């Protein structure tokens, strides 16, 4: 790839926005040429407008970029959206209409029948919806969305089992990191010496998104699958990395070694295509009794792998396991970048 | 009750031992007359031997008690055992043989067929095993055990549902407090910004203990019930209060209001007898979307109630809910004291 | 005291406001008759408007009080102000003008030359400023302010030393609790595995307030003392209780036992008058090497005592010690209530 | 440097030992050829014996090394000692006697008059003590020690000021990370929602070590300097990175820009020699109001730089600042490796 593709980030000063900036600043295919955020920040150089959350400095080259309003006309062919859901819907449509490729982390368009809800290793064929989307809406550009952070890692971890044994039902309890709520989303006063047993909307997303991700592509859109997901969502005092305790009911019997083998050997289209953000091994299996742990395992594969451990029989459903994923990388910015890489590799940009 | 019954605590310097001391120091029926601990502490006054974990001072009257070795002959009719499992088995037997009533928090004798595994509100009829136990072993005294902390609160919360609708299967994910591992059990380095997805032996206890607690009393002992419990156990950065995310399959259909009503109105024998440590309401139901929370709800009923919230349908089993209990009170020292009160009220001391 | 004095809380839904409500709901002299907060909450019953932060329920009798706007005309003779500084200045003046006694926790009027900056045990004579204040401003009511939380506990702990040996200079490093910033003031993401080495405005307040508190009353107002305070302020991951490491230079030599004796035996006017919120012992000295600790010692004296420990020589100044105080009780709501009690006892209401 | 020098780590399974292993496994000059630990671990491959604390795997090449007892005869020319103080004294002497170069992190020999207490940028001339040491003791090898973690970062940060303006007195309050106490040194129960205001022996070390580090080399050994250090030491809930609030009295007046300039431009012998572990910039100055912060700044310079911020006048002494250093890198393993590099560069191995 000779020239890098110009890209922009919408909502660039928030937590996920900053992850986009960080990951894009060293990207081999993409060149970050614009950072957009709400009016309050507009006009300032990004390095002044942002309350940078990472140890290293704001990347050179981005530091001086002026923050612009998130409106079509800004430079870039691809825009990555970390906008809050309240505004993402309309703004993203405006960009798609104007010819941009939108890779979104917002939930606004996830359930639109002609918008792919994409986990690059899981349902890359859903990109065919783009044609339908353009036809339906008369847009030059299009929108691709990624799933909710806690869904993405679950669906990715279960994908090899679904392919080989079928997945009928899942009971999953999440212990989600603070970063999933944005930088200021959870007060220290609320979480110190505490667990919050509720994350608004999260259980509903976890129940519904997999039905579409695992759904069948038809000429009219995605036919949702009937998988049943029962999610219990919690916020705990970790910084990054969602841990999920999973009980799963399979369609066909599976032996433990078959499960381990299926997970470890799983490779998706991003791995076949050698996409820059694709981890070599999407699913890493640990055999120690006390892994995965958020602090120790969240960075595996640059935060793009999911780590699975404690695979053992379930006395109620069929199998139990622990699944860990980096919520702001695989579950947000990194996932959306991988989706965009797939879009590029498919020749859609 | 005129004169208070003299009691002793075995393992009095550990975390659960200190809870025993704290709760007994203001008990209307029991008078703490001896504190026993390992040789290292023996001889010192309790106030010097203990690394007291509570804000208030070591209770007067206990402070000056000399620490004695945990051997029969020490004063007291009832002994409360907070001994580590490695030594509890034999030591407790020695006390029972010598005529003491042993109310134990250790796991050593939990599965003995002639030893009650008692949650006072749930299976008070299991106290009839004592006769069998004495006969079997030729002891003057006897042993009564309480369950594992994470089991006790689960079984108590589900008891009203079991009685009214039947409980067939449970998938439960625990988020357990640091105190459950003893004061030094979990290093700060291990838990800061982390969740530990494994507690040795805990899932096995949660799977097995309810089978006995809910088992049927027969002349030969307890006939275990067939309930299936799938537990996923975690350690999180909270001080006290185990939170459990529960999915339960019932034998008969239940409406939400029936469940709430069954939980809120549940009263057991300790409530009927007005035992001093019995909470007026064993199960408190919260209707807010984000309760129970460990820091806010663990002290309800003096730590002896369990708090249930987020009662909602489960797409995989039947119902979901969150259950919170104070692990070192209801799940350990407080529970064992309540058990002893029941023993006294039944005329067994 | 026959009839309780009707009082109101301004800013009743915030963290300090809730502490006022909690403490006043069981007050022997004061009856909480009105709760005021910003327009957003106005009209709702307090129990609905507030996001209650305490384990117990919103006190009965307050739960149903309608939230009113913080404007003169609301019931109550005394108003306790937990308003944010941005609005406190004008609103408090309005109330004083209308004849209310205002006991404020806000910083707006702390440095007004005719407004007492009161720590009830330290400078009760400064209440004489009230006459000047009323004369100056033509008000029927008046304003009394309490100090910044981290100042109050420092000045109280040092008062016996100042009286007996003189205090010339202090180097103090604070490790302040999350609650000091309000419920949402410090994001969990900012403080987990971290210390924040800056609290805006705090070091300036700690440097200046003691000069006035320890100042001399003159006909024209307070003549500030020349004490030099060098403060290093930090936010740490504790919920309540500010810990302060103090090095102090005295005017005259002092022996360790004299210091201990001076601190332990210190009693102020609130103790002499037996004011309801006055702790029996304003300063509690601990002799253990590792006390005071926030979690263990913040509740001493119902949160109204300060706890001092580790009294030892300082190789640079004269003496070193650790000082702990409950920031939202002694350092905020409790302190302002004690101030109001003093005002009442002085016959000023 | 053609061939790498064979080195060993004593106490290789502890926290500092693991840091040694991690840092040495990728070292350009040193080749880790032996790992020694107490008998319990001896014989096992290192990868099995250690409870590895880092996210990445135990380095290949070390994983299979058998753990040996810490006794002379093991391979290696240089041994890095992370032994507990209780045994370090004698064991290190044995190694030095047998001809090894010992670079120690233990406190046992820090005050020996013929043993350098070395901070490589600060007192490299103290290496001349080695000749005296060998002569005194008749050893073929020798011992070099590093300082206590909290001392090292303080002395390094103040060194440019000492050289240029003189340092007379320091009041320093530390907020030290959990890792400084070893992996299991601080129970989660002790530190959650808490600050510990005491670290045994730490204040004494901080008061004394700088006197030697800044002492004058004489034929008889080091003549200690008269600097007065008043330390207040605390443990806080951070994982790595000690934060220190410093007030310093200088011998000569200094302007703020002179201080900043002196700190930023400071370079020591390790920088001149280009030693592999020497950070390019030993002292990094931040100008933001709320830096340094442990989580954001501890990794600067690979953990070998100290970060200074909030430089401002002190109303009691002369200047105030915040100093942050990585306690287990600069303050322990990394510092000892840098010391060894200096020894090599000086031709002493």
The model's pLDDT over C122-156, given as tens digits with 9 standing for 90+, comes to 999 999 999 999 999 999 999 999 999 999 999 99
Q: How many helices and strands, by DSSP H and E, does chain D display? A: 11, 14
**Can you list the residues of chain D whose pLDDT is less than 70?**
1-2
Chain D residues 232-271 within an 8 A CB cutoff of chain B: 237-239
Interface probe with A: pick from D285, D293, D296, most Cβ of A within 10 Å: D296
Cβ atoms of residues B116 and B126 within 8 Å: yes
Percentage of chain A beyond pLDDT 90 is 95
- Which residues on B lie below 8 Å from D193 (Cβ)? 239
- pLDDT of residue B66 exceeding 90: yes
CATH topology agreement for domains C5-148+333-345 and C149-326: no
The 10s digit of each residue's pLDDT in C284-315 is: 999 999 999 999 999 999 999 999 999 999 99
User: How far away is chain A from the Cα of D297, in angstroms, using its nearest Cα?
Assistant: 6
Which residues in chain B are contacts of A157 at CB distance < 8 A? none
Which H helix or E strand runs over A250?
Answer: strand A242-250
Facing A187 at nearest CB: one of C184, C193, C237: C184
**Set C126, C149, C233, C326: catalytic member:** C149
Could D299 and A192 be called an inter-chain contact, meaning their C-beta atoms sit closer than 8 Å?
no
Which helix (H) or strand (E) covers residue A170, if one does? strand A167-176
Distance between D177 CA and the closest CA of chain B, angstroms: 9
Q: Which residue of B has its CA nearest to C191?
A: B193
Nearest-CA distance D29 → chain A (Å): 28
Average pLDDT over residues C264-278: 98
Q: Which is catalytic among the residues C109, C126, C233, C242?
A: C242
Q: What is the 3-state secondary structure of chain B?
A: CCCCEEEEEECCCCHHHHHHHHHHCCCCCEEEEEEECCCCCCCCEHHHHCCCCCCCCCCCCCCCCEEECCCECECCCEEEECCCHHHHHHHHHHHHHCCCEEEECCCCCCCCCCCCECCCCCCHHHHHHHHHHHHHHCCCCEEEECCCHHHHHHHHHHHHHHHHHCEEEEEEEEEECHHHHCCCCCEHHHHCCCCECCCCCHHHHHHHHHHHHCCEEECCEEECCCCEEEEEEEECCCCCCEEEEEEEEECCCCCHHHHHHHHHHCCCHHHHHCCCCCCCCCEEECCCCCCCCHHHHCCHHHHCCEEEEEEEECCCCCEEEEEEECCCHHHHHHHHHHHHHHHHHCCCC
Contacts of D323 (CB under 8 A, 6+ apart): D153, D154, D157, D243, D244, D246, D292, D306, D307, D308
pTM over 0.90: yes
The full set of domain ranges for chain A reads: 5-148+333-345, 149-326
B169, B175, B316, B325, best to mutate vs chain A, most A CBs in 10 Å: B316
**A188 in contact with D at a CB cutoff of 8 Å?**
no
CA C204 to chain centre: 17
Which residues, numbered 295 to 324 in chain A, qualify as contacts with chain D under a Cβ-Cβ cut-off of 8 Å? 295-300
ipTM above threshold 0.90: yes
Helix (H, G, I), strand (E, B) or coil at D43: coil
- What is the C-alpha separation between C207 and C201, in angstroms, rounded? 10
Q: What is the dihedral of CA B143, B148, B152, B153, to 10 degrees?
A: 150
C55:B192 CB<8 A: no
Asked whether D266 and D206 are in contact (CB, 8 A), the reply is no
Which residue in C194, C196, C295 is closest to D193 by CB distance?
A: C295
| Domain A5-148+333-345: which CATH number of 3.40.50.720, 3.20.20.70, 3.40.50.300, 3.40.50.2000 | 3.40.50.720
Q: Is C179 on the interface with A (CB under 8 A)?
A: yes
Q: Is A184's CB within 8 Å of C183's CB?
A: no
**Separation in Å, CA B33 to CA A265, B30, D133:** 63, 9, 61
Strand ranges of the sheet holding A319-325, from the earlier edge strand across to the other edge: A228-235, A167-176, A242-250, A319-325, A306-313, A283-285
pLDDT tens digit sequence for A117-169: 999 999 999 999 999 999 999 999 999 999 999 999 999 999 999 999 999 99
> Would you say residue A2 has pLDDT above 70?
no
* CATH of the domain spanning A149-326, picked from 3.30.360.10, 1.10.3760.10, 2.40.128.120, 1.10.10.10: 3.30.360.10
pLDDT at D89: 95
Question: Does the beta carbon of A191 lie under 8 angstroms from any beta carbon of chain C?
Answer: yes
Interface membership of D193 toward A (CB under 8 Å) = yes
The more confidently predicted of residues B216 and A1 is: B216
* Gap between the Cα atoms of A328 and A185, Å rounded: 14
Interatomic CA distance for residues D201 and D209, integer angstroms: 12
Q: Which of D109, D126, D149, D233 is catalytic?
A: D149
The whole-number pLDDT of residue C202 equals: 98
Confidence at residue C2, expressed as pLDDT on a 0 to 100 scale: 64
Q: Which residues contact D142 (CB under 8 A, 6 or more apart)?
A: D96, D101, D102, D130, D133, D134, D348
Look at residue B39 in the predicted model and tell me its pLDDT: 74
The pLDDT-based confidence of B220 (bands split at 50, 70, 90) is confident
* Residue B162 structure tokens: 């079991």
In Å, how far from its chain's centre is CA B309? 21
Tell me the sheet residues that pair with B35: B9, B67
Which pLDDT score, from 0 to 100, does residue B118 have?
98
Residue C132 is predicted with a pLDDT of 96
Tell me the count of A-B CB pairs closer than 8 A: 131
Mean pLDDT of B207-211: 98
Distance from the Cα of B183 to chain A's closest Cα (Å) equals: 15
**Cα angle C295-C296-C297, degrees, rounded to a multiple of 5:** 100
Catalytic, out of D27, D109, D126, D242: D242
User: For chain A, what is the radius of gyration of the CA atoms?
Assistant: 19
Q: Which among B55, B193, B296 has the least Cβ separation from residue C55?
A: B296
**Residues of A labelled as active-site residues:** 149, 242
Instruction: State the chains in contact with A (3 or more Cβ–Cβ pairs under 8 Å).
Output: B, C, D
What span, in angstroms and rounded, lies between the C-alpha atoms of B144 and B120? 11
Helix%, strand%, coil% for chain C, nearest 5 = 35, 25, 40
Q: Tell me which of C19, C178, C188 to substitute to probe the interface with A (most A C-beta atoms closer than 10 Å).
A: C188
Q: How far apart are CA B140 and CA B130, in angstroms?
A: 11
Whether B198 is catalytic is no
Nearest by CB to B299, from C55, C193, C300: name it. C55
Of A54, A192, A299, the CB nearest to D55: A299
Please tell me the predicted confidence (pLDDT) of residue C41. 81
Arithmetic mean of pLDDT over chain B: 96
Beta bridge partner(s), residue D264? none
- C168 at D interface, C-beta within 8 A: no
Average pLDDT, chain A: 96
Structure tokens at C230: 């060098």
D191 interface with C at CB cutoff 8 Å: no
Nearest to C188 among A15, A53, A191 (CB): A191
CB distance from A327 to chain B under 8 Å?
no
Chain A residues touching C186 at Cβ < 8 A:
187-189
Tell me the shortest Cα–Cα distance from C17 to chain B, in angstroms. Answer: 18
Give the mean pLDDT of C204-214. Answer: 98
Given a cut of 70, is residue A302 above it in pLDDT? yes
In a mutational test of the D interface, the residue from C241, C245, C299, C312 whose CB has the highest number of chain D CBs within 10 Å is: C245
Predicted local confidence at residue C40, as pLDDT: 80
Neighbours of A5 (CB within 10 A): 18
Asked if residue A1 has pLDDT above 90, the reply is no
Contacts of A76 (CB under 8 A, 6+ apart): A6, A7, A8, A33, A34, A100
Q: What is the dihedral of CA A44, A46, A47, A49, to 10 degrees?
A: 60
- pLDDT at residue D2 in the model: 64
* B178, B184, B189 member nearest D192 (Cβ): B178
Q: Which of D209, D176, D187, D193 is nearest to D325 (CA)?
A: D176
Burial of A66 (0-12, 13-18, 19+ CB in 10 A): middle
From C192, C195, C290, residue closest to D196, measured CB to CB:
C290
The two beta strands, D78-81 and D101-104, are: parallel
Name C297's bridge partners.
Answer: none
Facing C183 at nearest CB: one of A15, A187, A239: A187
Probe site for chain D from B180, B187, B328 (most D CB atoms < 10 A): B187
Q: What is the pLDDT of residue B2?
A: 64
Show residues of chain D in contact with B189, CB under 8 Å.
Answer: 15, 53, 178-179, 183-186, 239
- Number of inter-chain CB pairs under 8 A, C vs D: 131
Residue A214 has pLDDT above 90, yes or no: yes
Q: Give CA angle at B296 (B293, B299), nearest 5°.
A: 110
Query: What is the Cα–Cα distance from A196 to A198, expressed in whole angstroms?
Result: 6
In chain D, which residue's Cα lies nearest the Cα of A57?
Answer: D296
Q: What is the pLDDT of residue C96?
A: 98
Is the CB of residue B226 less than 8 Å away from at least one CB of chain A? no
Average pLDDT over every residue of A238-243:
98
By CA distance, what is D52's nearest residue in A? A296
- Give A97's pLDDT tier (boundaries 50, 70, 90): very high
Q: Is C192 on the interface with B (CB under 8 A)?
A: yes
């Amino acid at each position: 790839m000779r020239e890098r593709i110009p890209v922009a980030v919408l909502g660039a000063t928030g937590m996920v926005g900053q992850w986009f900036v960080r990951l894009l600043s060293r990207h081999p295919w993409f060149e970050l040429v614009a950072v957009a955020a709400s009016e309050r920040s507009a006009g300032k150089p990004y390095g002044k407008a942002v309350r940078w959350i990472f140890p290293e400095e704001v990347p050179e080259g981005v530091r001086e970029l002026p923050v612009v309003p998130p409106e079509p006309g800004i430079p870039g062919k691809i825009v990555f959206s970390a906008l809050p859901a309240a505004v993402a819907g309309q703004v993203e449509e405006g960009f798609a209409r104007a010819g941009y490729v939108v890779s979104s982390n917002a939930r606004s368009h996830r359930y639109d029948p002609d918008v792919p809800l994409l986990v690059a290793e899981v349902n890359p064929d859903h990109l065919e919806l783009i044609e339908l989307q353009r036809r339906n809406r008369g847009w030059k550009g299009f929108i691709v969305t990624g799933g909710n952070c806690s869904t993405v890692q679950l669906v990715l971890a279960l994908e090899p089992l679904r392919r080989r044994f079928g997945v009928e039902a899942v009971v999953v309890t999440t212990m989600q990191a603070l970063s999933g709520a944005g930088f200021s989303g959870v007060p220290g006063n609320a979480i110190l010496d505490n667990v919050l047993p509720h994350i608004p909307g999260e259980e509903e997303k976890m129940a519904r998104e997999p039905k579409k991700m695992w759904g069948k592509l038809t000429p009219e859109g995605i036919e949702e699958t009937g998988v049943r997901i029962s999610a219990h969502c919690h916020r705990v005092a970790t910084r990054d990395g969602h841990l999920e305790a999973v009980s799963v009911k399979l369609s066909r019997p599976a032996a433990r070694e078959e499960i381990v083998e299926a997970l470890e050997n799983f490779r998706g289209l991003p791995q076949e295509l050698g996409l820059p953000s694709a981890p070599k091994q999407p699913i890493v299996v640990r055999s120690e009794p006390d892994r995965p742990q958020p602090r120790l395992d969240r960075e595996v594969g640059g935060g793009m792998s999911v780590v699975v451990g404690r695979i053992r029989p379930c006395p109620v459903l069929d199998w139990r396991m622990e699944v860990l994923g980096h919520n702001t990388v695989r579950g947000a910015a990194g996932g959306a970048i991988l989706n965009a890489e797939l879009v590029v590799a498919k020749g859609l940009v």
